[in-house]
Amino acid sequence: MKKKTVEDIVLKGKRVLVRVDFNVPMKGGVITDDNRIVQAIPTIEYIVEEGGKAILFSHLGRVETVEDKAKSSLLPVAVRLQELIGKPVKFIPQTRGLALEEAIASMKDSDIIMFENTRFEDIEGKKESKNNPELGLYWASLGDVFVNDAFGTAHRAHASNSGIASHLETAAGFLMEKELRYIGGAVDNPVRPFVAILGGAKVSDKIGVIENLLSKADKVLIGGGMAYTFMRAQGFNIGTSICENDKIELAKELLVKANGKLILPIDLVVSKEFKNDTPHRVTTYSDIQDDEMGLDVGPKTIELYKKELQGAKTVIWNGPVGVFEMENFAKGTKAVCEMLANMVDAKTIIGGGDSAAAAIQMGYADKFTHISTGGGASLEYLEGKALPGVESLDDAVECNCHDCDCDK
């Protein structure tokens, strides 16, 4: 069933609670990547333009102690949002209480306020992350309608998404809608050929994703640390490469189930140390020494990826295929970025996490059809799991009339 979006609800004069995902990386109180803030702006601007009173809130990191609280304020985020959106953003350094209630009561149409990190409530019994019903009800009482634009937390039932949604009319923001349309559409109704590229360190992190995509994709290309578990399952010596020995039997089962759909690397870059400046060489899986570890895919594997991607119309990529944080072992991941960036007639989607970070870091952010803002949420969505934050959105009303302009 299609979900209601922010365009389906009346906003003028309404107190609009907006769950955004402003869980941005920070160092010394300075934001190091504002992509999630930028991605939320279209929804905020639309609410303001329609005369709604935008009340923004988000979590930021894990907050379990008073020390965590001291370094996890959303104030720097509010300052950055104000710079980006070009409108005043009033920051309320509370998650509940009289000051917050009075600030909301005094709002005029099109005003924007942001209140403090929702995870501050976790210091007292995990109220936010355990979906405390009293907290969800209290936050719901501050608004008239609820817009959830935080796909990054959609895989969790928290007081700030499911809790509020159980009390108010609830719709998806533009970012949430975009995530559901691109990732959900790519997996459930892809334009074929459909190719998935999966990297990352562990098979265990992506068992469900691999199984789901094997039933839907035409090919699944494997890279990154998880490839070594598959290679050991085939009897290869992988030296000191990362390997989940307890998942070898599972890897064997997946290889059989794949029936040729699973494409593994054929060469790799190895080194004796996990360091960027250590000596390294390209070799095949039949020639890895006992004291060597794989840190990237090799040039023949890159050419294999290119061959398998030829003619693809839908591509989903989740997880780097090497240790992209180290320049000497980033060639494979950079090559994947370049391949997808140059696919003119295909939908290219990055499923969040490290692969999204790699694409942005390497300057390819605007070369993809969609880069997800959700890490864990993207993975669970790719697995085909129901996400609480999505399930709690109201269903769109389908219009069966023939003589109106409602566009339902």
Name the active-site residue from 14, 36, 206, 334. 36
408 is catalytic: no
36 is catalytic: yes
Closest listed residue to residue 318, CA positions, set 260, 389, 368: 368
Name the active-site residue from 51, 184, 208, 376. 376
Contact 147, 43 (CB under 8 A): yes
Q: Quick one: angle between helices 207-214 and 376-383, nearest 10?
A: 40
With the C-alpha atoms ordered 40, 42, 48, 50, is the resulting torsion angle positive or negative?
A: negative
**How far does the chain reach from its first CA to its final CA, in angstroms?**
13
Contact 374, 151 (CB under 8 A): yes
Can you tell me the distance from the alpha carbon of 297 to that of 302, in angstroms, rounded to the nearest whole number? 7
Tokens, residue 197: 């590229």
Return phi, psi of residue 291, to 5°: -100, 15
Name the active-site residue from 353, 374, 375, 389. 353
CA 27 from centre of chain:
21
Return phi, psi of residue 172, to 5°: -80, 140
351 is catalytic: no
376 is catalytic: yes
With the C-alpha atoms ordered 384, 385, 388, 392, is the resulting torsion angle positive or negative?
A: positive
Tokens, residue 134: 């009293």
Tokens, residue 14: 């309404």
Q: Which residues are catalytic?
A: 36, 202, 353, 376
